[in-house]
Amino acid sequence: MSKPSEVEPARGARDRLIREALVSGMTYERAGEVAQVSERTVRRLMSDPAFRAEVNSLRAERTGRLADRLS
């Protein structure tokens, strides 16, 4: 079994991949493929209010940057 100290960095990297995939417009299924997890895992993460808020915040940031570029 993995030690907690080994699992946390892996989860952090996985979660970052999922967030970036979702922010870039990928479906839950595709985001899961990118992070090598199931769609169900992505849905479970998105049911966490803190994780969902972070994804929404990153989307808003990216949208703002794109709008600035278009101006």
What is the distance between the terminal CA atoms of the chain, rounded to a whole angstrom? 53
7 has a pLDDT exceeding 80: no
- 2: DSSP letter: -
Whole-prediction pTM? 0.80
* pLDDT classification of 10: cutoffs 50, 70, 90: confident
Q: Environment class of residue 22 by beta-carbon count within 10 Å: exposed (0-12), middle (13-18) or buried (19+)? A: buried
